[in-house]
Amino acid sequence: MKCLIAVLVCVALVEGIVRIPLRKHKSMREALREKGIELPYQDPALKYQPNEFSSSDYMYINNYADTTYYGAISIGTPPQSFQVLFDTGSANLWVDSIYCSTQACNAHTKFNPQQSSTYSANGQTFYLPYGAGSLYGTFGYDTVTVGSIVINHQEIGLSTNEPGQNFVVAKFDGILGLSYPSISAGGETPVMDNMISQNLLSANIFAFYLSRGGQQGSVLSFGGLDTNLYQGQIHWTPVTSETYWQIGVQGFEINGRETGWCSQGCQSIVDTGTSTLTAPSQLFGHIMQAIGAQQSHYGMYMVDCSQVNNLPTLSFVISGVALPLAPSAYINQHYQNGHQFCYVGIGPTYLPSRSGQPLWIFGDVFLREYYSIYDRTNNRLGFASAA
């Protein structure tokens, strides 16, 4: 399968910043569509259900069908390398392992704990449901290397059973969660928290730069900011719930005009594990009407490609600052059999935030436009215009 490579540079450590190159591949949805299989839309916010961590060995993962940006880590001694999705919408680290022999696992690199001198098992198991299947695994401890950062005694999940077909075409071997430890399944200490407790970072922050249009250069940085990847001022806003990277949204504008839809307050989860911008269901139809989008028989909302430049700019008011999304940001162009199609990179979510306020999800559609900085010391998020 042909893949788009978004970055081919080396990991660098400069002035305390560790840079992890991210590669852009076709998503599971794109790969399955080429095989004539159309995945139904699934609400990304199912990932954030309030009951998802009611059991100590339960972890929910959903809607990775559209994700495209992955990077390399290694586990064990000597190191075994894996491509993982760096996900701000979950907290655990897991990878495929030799204990799993399903088709989905066999299509990926598997961790072999028997070949690592630093591995130790802890006997705890986990169950991880997702859209059209599920994954079972067991927890253990080992050395994990992220760029040049070496984390000792990091708890990892090893898959033991991965039924279903969706992950067969996935390009990642596992997921590295970057959200808060309060949502970690099984009480596992997240990778970022071990980096902090082991004093491995010059500053307790990480930042994402996602390049546009399949261009090279997508990067995840730990321990500092890369001033070459953004321009202008950083706009900071506090985290409203130390679970996910959740923030408040005070207003929503269409072509600079306030709609009043968030006048009583909205919430947004900033999630690198979701590719789309996701709007509250009660607002979604109004947004599609403002855009002039029509629903196709695949369920996607389409627009006339010749009119993209005339579509409205959508803006979010966050801590008093309006952050705009031009139509070029939220319209995806796709070519098939010599024809051009333009579909809207916005989907609905039917679940409110835990506070009851309408919930947005700022996925990759938003994050390609803004360099995003995640500050654990001050529990705040920063946005600056991407370079």
87 is catalytic: yes
Cross-strand partners of 235: 383
Is position 271 annotated as part of the catalytic site?
yes
Please list, residue by residue across 322-331, b when 16 or more beta carbons sit within 10 angstroms of its beta carbon and e when fewer do: bbebebebbb
CB 130 within 8 A of CB 28: no
Question: CB-based contacts of 164: which residues, under 8 Å, 6+ apart?
Answer: 104, 132, 133, 134
- Our measurement of the distance from residue 327's CA atom to the centroid of its chain's CA atoms, rounded to an integer in Å, reads 21
CB atoms within 10 A of CB 292: 14
Backbone Cα Rg of the chain: 20
| Backbone dihedral angles phi then psi of residue 144, each to the nearest 5 degrees | -120, 135
Give the angle 341-344-345 at the CA atoms, nearest 5°: 120
3-state helix, strand, coil in the chain (%, to 5): 15, 40, 40
Instruction: Write down the catalytic residue from 66, 173, 271, 364.
Output: 271
d(CA 41, CA 299): 7
Q: Which of 43, 87, 142, 173 is catalytic?
A: 87
Phi, psi (5° rounding) for residue 95?
Answer: -140, 160
Catalytic residue list: 87, 271
